[in-house]
Amino acid sequence: VRRLVRDWAPLVWLAPGERFLPLGVTEFLDNVQSDQYYLRTRIDVESLLQNRSSFLYGRRPAGTVPVYALVKNCISKDTRLRTARNNTPMLKAFEERNAFTLLQDPFLTQRPTNSINDLRAQIISREQMRQAATVPRFEKVREENGCQKVHFHVTYWMFYPFSEGKTICVLDLGFFGSWPIPTIAGMCIGTLKEYGSHIGDWEHMSLYFKDNEYPLAMYVSAHDVGAFYQYDPRNGTFVYERQETRKGLFQKPTFPEKVYTAGDSHPILFSARGSHGLWTAPGKHKFVRVPRLYDESGFGTAWPTWKRLELLLEEDNEPLPGWMTFKGKWGNPSSNCHPLARLGFNICEFVDGPTGIPMKKFNFRC
């Protein structure tokens, strides 16, 4: 599983002119302070943005910034136990070859045995203990035909310390605040104002594996929408299947029909400039219809995510990093908001930071 997670990790192209680069979670946490609900910057945001060496601008990612691969094993404990029981006949040859050695083992000599059945039971028990100590957490299930199969899904999480909002044309209506208006022939007759920036930014894509050395499906997330793709092993591409809108009424972008791979396995994705939404092709992407909001992506800086992967194993007894327990917002509270924000409209110069990985749902089910 570890090999498949590494071999199919995406190649992400950061956009040309990208100012706000990725960052590791540990370095981000060194620069914020937490309460129950938010991870707040220790220094005010305006001062941090004026300092181009501040942590908000991240680091060049290739080989230095980790990508967090959250793996969910779909093989039940019962299946693993049943597989182990089915493999016990293979121990007979082991018994015959190693009976004398095991008789000399202190573990056995401390327990006198009066019958060959007791000895056989101890041999089997000891070998099962040895296998349990060395078997990987995500073992491949061996089917009756002898082929090794896998069944899991993995989500690759990328973290950015700052997400840049969108600049839109607005008309100042005094007490009623600024309202977005369309541009005329590309000209703004009002003023240009930036909305929607926030501290902390989690972006992700997911792969689903079952019974093969290649994924069956891929999910790519951009803002509050995402696209599902099926993998076509004949030509090594991912083919568009459908999309979903997780939140909002006006988000319905167009996704390309095919996603290509690098090195025959790494899906090629594109991170939008400033907002970091993941797209499956370079270019200009309209993702909100009212007001019209666009993402721009292209071939800027290559980020081969497999060069530094940190696996987060979603298992009952597998320890996870301490930051995975935080269920609040990964950034400051919203500020500089439109008067309509009092009525529930999320129109702010700086919006709340996002929730972390534990609060996100999986894109695939076992």
**What does the alpha-carbon distance between residue 88 and residue 85 come to, in Å, rounded to a whole number?**
5
- Mean pLDDT along residues 46-59: 96
> pLDDT value at position 89?
52
233-292 pLDDT, tens per residue? 999 999 999 999 877 655 678 899 999 999 999 999 999 999 999 999 999 987 665 566
Task: Output the six-digit token pair for 246.
Answer: 């997780």
Q: Which secondary structure element, helix H or strand E, spans residue 4, and what is its range?
A: helix 2-7
> pLDDT value at position 184?
76
Nearest Cα to Cα of residue 73 among 295, 354, 366, 302: 366
3-class secondary structure, 289: coil
Task: Output the six-digit token pair for 116.
Answer: 């060959």
Please check the confidence at residue 24 and state whether its pLDDT lies above 70. Answer: yes
138-175 pLDDT, tens per residue? 334 434 434 468 999 999 999 999 999 887 777 877 76
State the CB neighbour count (10 A cutoff) for residue 219. Answer: 21
> pLDDT value at position 60?
95
> pLDDT value at position 130?
37
Comparing 320 with 130, which gets the higher pLDDT?
A: 320
CA terminus-to-terminus distance, the chain: 15
**What does the alpha-carbon distance between residue 199 and residue 20 come to, in Å, rounded to a whole number?**
11
Quickly state the pLDDT bin for 314 (edges 50, 70, 90): low
Task: Calculate the CA dihedral of residues 232, 233, 235, 236 and round it to 10 degrees.
Answer: 90
**What does the alpha-carbon distance between residue 190 and residue 192 come to, in Å, rounded to a whole number?**
7
- Mean pLDDT along residues 113-118: 40
Contact indicator for 188, 182 with CB cutoff of 8 Å: no
Give the best-scoring range by mean pLDDT among 4-8, 188-192, 335-339, 342-346: 4-8
- Mean pLDDT along residues 41-70: 96
Contact indicator for 307, 321 with CB cutoff of 8 Å: no
3-class secondary structure, 133: helix
> pLDDT value at position 177?
65
> pLDDT value at position 39?
97
Q: How, if at all, do strands 151-163 and 283-288 pair?
A: unpaired
Q: Which residues of 9-41 are buried (b: 16+ CB within 10 A; e: fewer)?
A: bbbbbbbeebebbbbbbeebeebbeeeeebbbb
Contact indicator for 281, 263 with CB cutoff of 8 Å: no
Please check the confidence at residue 221 and state whether its pLDDT lies above 50. Answer: yes
Quickly state the pLDDT bin for 87 (edges 50, 70, 90): low
> pLDDT value at position 111?
38
All residues at 6 or more sequence positions from 140 whose CB lies less than 8 Å from its CB, including other chains? 1, 148, 149, 150
Burial class (CB in 10 A: 0-12, 13-18, 19+), 360: middle
Please check the confidence at residue 90 and state whether its pLDDT lies above 50. Answer: no
- Mean pLDDT along residues 56-60: 97
In eight-state DSSP terms, residue 61 is: -
Place of tokens 């007490």: 175
> pLDDT value at position 302?
97
- Mean pLDDT along residues 308-337: 87
How far out from the chain centre does Cα 268 lie? 15
